Amino acid sequence: MLNVAGSSDQPRTAVVVGAGVVGLSTAWFLQEHGVEVTVVDRRGVAAGSSWGNAGWLSPGLALPLNDPGVLRYGLRSLFDRAAPLHVPARVDPALWRFLLRFAARCTRSGWDRVARANLPLNVESLKAYDTLSAGGVETGAVQAPITAAFENHDQATALIDEFDRLGDAGQDVSYQRLSVGELRDRLPQASGRLGEGIRLDGQRYLDPGEFAGRLADAVRERGGVIRDGFDVVDVRPHDHAVTVASTSSATVSAHVAVLAGGAWFGRLGRRFGIRVPVRAGRGYSFTVPTDEPVTGPVYLPGIRVACTPYQGALRVAGTMEFRHVDDALDPARIDAVVESARPLLTGVRWEERRDEWVGARPVTHDGKPVIGATNAPGVYAAGGHGMWGLTQGPATGRLLAEQIVTGKRLDALHEFDPLR
């Protein structure tokens, strides 16, 4: 147990619930301010969505989910197990309330509001990674454009429209259209079904599991403690401390606590005034060998699939599945990704896939994460980043750490108020 005797304007100790990229980033940036940290997690480092995602550091593709096209597409494919968006048919009133609230925000004006709200995280995202690198964290990030490939001109135009709207919100997005010949030069795997491309510049990618492990090592090297197998069931604020208790009755106390448990976030947050629903939007991935190397990240917007060079092969990630956070992997979802991508990419040995994985991404109904102080002194929240936790995690940690140590509510975090 940490020593939390006494009080001061700046907290000296913190316990962070969640050892994913968001939680570990918050811990690292708290250490930058001299705060002693303990990180606890029900399983371990990067055990949730921080391990098997596509590994993109892509503020240019951190697009709001609440696009009107997503709503139209979702209604058509809601119960299709092969569709990128899938909701199993079952009685779950809370899920249906969540989806209805999300659907109400799938308008152009709603999209624009979320784009403006998320702007501070997107603008600061790569700078936060640079700060980690300068502080000794080997991120392993590779600078590379993302190649988006399309079956037709209308698909390309739809993505460019989103880029232009991000620009209108204040975010710098640099892209170039690619002819079919230019697309083939960049992506030899492009099949004859793909006829147009876009090169999105200024992006990066990395091995997310490896990065999370290195970030955890950096936290430990600075004196931080990381405890796995610590399944939190209670968070109890006191006068000058917060105690976090696990199912095994183990406890950790500190001046402040940060709830950063990803898709498990909601059950802890409700008692502290957090009414923003957070649901598990589960994503799938696997790794496949290719006949020729893929030189950089590839996005297939028509089927919502992301591909990334990974350990000498190709990691393929996709789907948004609203099921219980701890449900087992559904092989039909992997098959659906394979069958949708197979006609678009050649030289990919789909039947030799490995590392099949499912991870629960924390999705909010309004498309904005939950970052900041709760209604309990000393208890903070950091979650709900949806598909963009890897991109926005370090920026979240930097901003939240500053708020915690200064006690000042930052303008950049205003839209992410946990009590909204």
Task: Kindly state the helix (H) or strand (E) to which residue 217 belongs, with its residue range.
Answer: helix 208-221
Percentage with pLDDT > 70 across the chain:
95
**Reported pTM:** 0.93
Residue with tokens 């409700």: 270
- C-alpha 4/C-alpha 254 separation (Å) is 6
Contacts of 417 (CB under 8 A, 6+ apart): 372
Amino acid at 275: R
Residue 42: what pLDDT? 93
- C-alpha 269/C-alpha 317 separation (Å) is 29
Provide the H-helix boundaries in 230-350.
Answer: 265-269, 331-341
Q: CA 411: distance to chain centroid?
A: 22
pLDDT digits (tens, 9 = 90+) for 66-104: 888 776 665 556 666 667 777 776 778 888 899 889 989
Q: How far apart are the first and last CA of the chain?
A: 33
Give me 116's structure tokens.
């403006």
Mean pLDDT estimate for the chain: 93
Please compute Rg for the chain using Cα positions: 21
For residue 216, give Cα distances in angstroms to 36, 207, 365: 14, 14, 30
Residue 3: what pLDDT? 41
Query: DSSP code of 280?
Result: E
pLDDT digits (tens, 9 = 90+) for 101-126: 998 999 999 999 999 999 999 999 99
Residue 6: what pLDDT? 40
Mark the ranges of the chain whose per-residue pLDDT is less than 70.
Answer: 1-8, 71-82, 89
- C-alpha 124/C-alpha 41 separation (Å) is 27
Contacts of 230 (CB under 8 A, 6+ apart): 40, 41, 42, 246, 250, 252
